[in-house]
């Protein structure tokens, strides 16, 4: 009988973060990452083989979509990762690897349902990161799932150029403001794309209007023409001028080869 579960295929370890490869039953590779912190463990799991997103700044943006991962594959990968990393700190399962989770919303939702129904030594919480594609799917998720809205820029022309499959900015802002659960804006800082005063000011105003914090991420380019912004602290200061709550996250992306879709080895 064919083993339908992905098989662990090796890993690389940065010391803080481990990037783990799995081979699916039909011969494709998918990756997950585990980030260990004193207060919690984060497991980042991919949702698609390839991606439908076509985001210009992302290593998965140029990948052909092969297929969605199933609820059983994603759940198995999380359990496998937990098994090899025992501990009793809370675990955040974050659907933010390769793939757009909301394009595979039903399987992601069912995977959360399966994990909630299982006994695990650690308390599990859930998050998903979206590039703003198929945001109407958020309605069907349990409202304690944290949503990280990856927003490169509120400028519609920049947004369309960088994330061509995303919903329009109006729909994104509506979803951001209306989602009733925990949420935040995630913005990777990219040179000559969004690291300017105008963009940071606009982001700050949006964050204040919707009552969310902004997490500025250090951009870690993989297979892309874009580079990391050279003025991250200045961007943070510009954003905070608006009164918005904002932080600069420097280590997460670096350790796990950056956020959404960047699970490719350099």
Q: Which parts of this chain interact with ligand SF4 (CB under 6 A)?
A: 51, 53, 55, 58, 60-61, 98-100, 131, 260-261
Q: Which residues lie below 8 Å from residue 233, measured CB to CB, with a gap of 6+? A: 248
Quote the least distance from Cβ 243 to ligand SF4, whole Å. 29
* Side-chain-facing half-sphere of 141: CA atoms under 13 Å: 30
Quote the least distance from Cβ 34 to ligand SF4, whole Å. 18
Distance CA 64, CA 158 (A): 23
Q: Give the CA distances from residue 127 to residues 17, 142, 162, 213, in Å, rounded to whole numbers and listed in that order.
A: 18, 11, 23, 15
**Residue 75 or residue 98: which is nearer to ligand SF4 going by CB?**
98
**Residue 53 or residue 253: which is nearer to ligand SF4 going by CB?**
53
CA-wise closest residue to 260 among 12, 48, 16: 48
Give residue 257's region: left, alpha or beta (phi > 0; psi -120 to 50): left
151 burial type by CB count under 10 A (0-12 exposed, 13-18 middle, 19+ buried): buried
**Residue 61 or residue 204: which is nearer to ligand SF4 going by CB?**
61
Quote the least distance from Cβ 100 to ligand SF4, whole Å. 4
**Residue 6 or residue 261: which is nearer to ligand SF4 going by CB?**
261
**Residue 6 or residue 61: which is nearer to ligand SF4 going by CB?**
61
Is 8 within 8 Å of 80 (Cβ atoms)? yes
**Residue 58 or residue 235: which is nearer to ligand SF4 going by CB?**
58
Quote the least distance from Cβ 50 to ligand SF4, whole Å. 9
| Vertex 184 angle, CA 231 and 22, to 5° | 90
Quote the least distance from Cβ 240 to ligand SF4, whole Å. 26
Torsion over CA: 193, 196, 199, 205 (sign): positive
Please list the residues that pair with 185 across neighbouring strands. 149, 214
């Amino acid at each position: 009988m064919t083993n339908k579960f992905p098989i662990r295929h090796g890993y690389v370890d940065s010391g803080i973060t481990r990037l783990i490869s799995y081979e699916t039953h039909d011969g494709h590779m998918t990756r997950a990452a585990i980030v260990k912190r004193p207060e919690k463990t984060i497991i980042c799991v991919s949702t698609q083989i390839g991606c439908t997103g076509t985001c210009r700044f992302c290593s998965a943006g140029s990948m052909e979509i092969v297929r969605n991962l199933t609820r059983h594959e994603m759940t198995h990968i999380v359990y496998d990762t937990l098994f090899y990393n025992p501990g009793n700190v809370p675990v955040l399962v974050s659907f933010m690897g390769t793939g757009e989770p909301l394009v595979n919303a039903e399987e992601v939702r069912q995977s959360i349902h399966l994990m909630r129904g299982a006994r695990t030594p650690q308390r599990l919480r859930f998050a998903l990161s979206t590039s703003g594609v198929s945001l109407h799917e958020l309605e069907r998720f349990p409202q304690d799932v944290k949503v990280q809205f990856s927003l490169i820029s509120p400028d519609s022309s920049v947004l369309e150029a960088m994330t061509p499959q995303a919903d329009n900015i109006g729909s994104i802002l509506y979803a951001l403001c209306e989602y009733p659960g925990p949420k935040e804006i995630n913005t990777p800082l990219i040179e000559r794309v969004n690291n300017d005063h105008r963009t940071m000011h606009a982001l700050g105003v949006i964050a204040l209007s919707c009552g969310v914090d902004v997490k500025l991420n250090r951009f870690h380019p993989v297979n892309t023409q874009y580079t990391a912004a050279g003025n991250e602290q200045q961007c943070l200061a510009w954003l905070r001028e608006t009164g918005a709550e904002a932080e600069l996250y420097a280590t997460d992306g670096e350790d796990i080869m950056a956020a959404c879709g960047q699970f490719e080895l350099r």
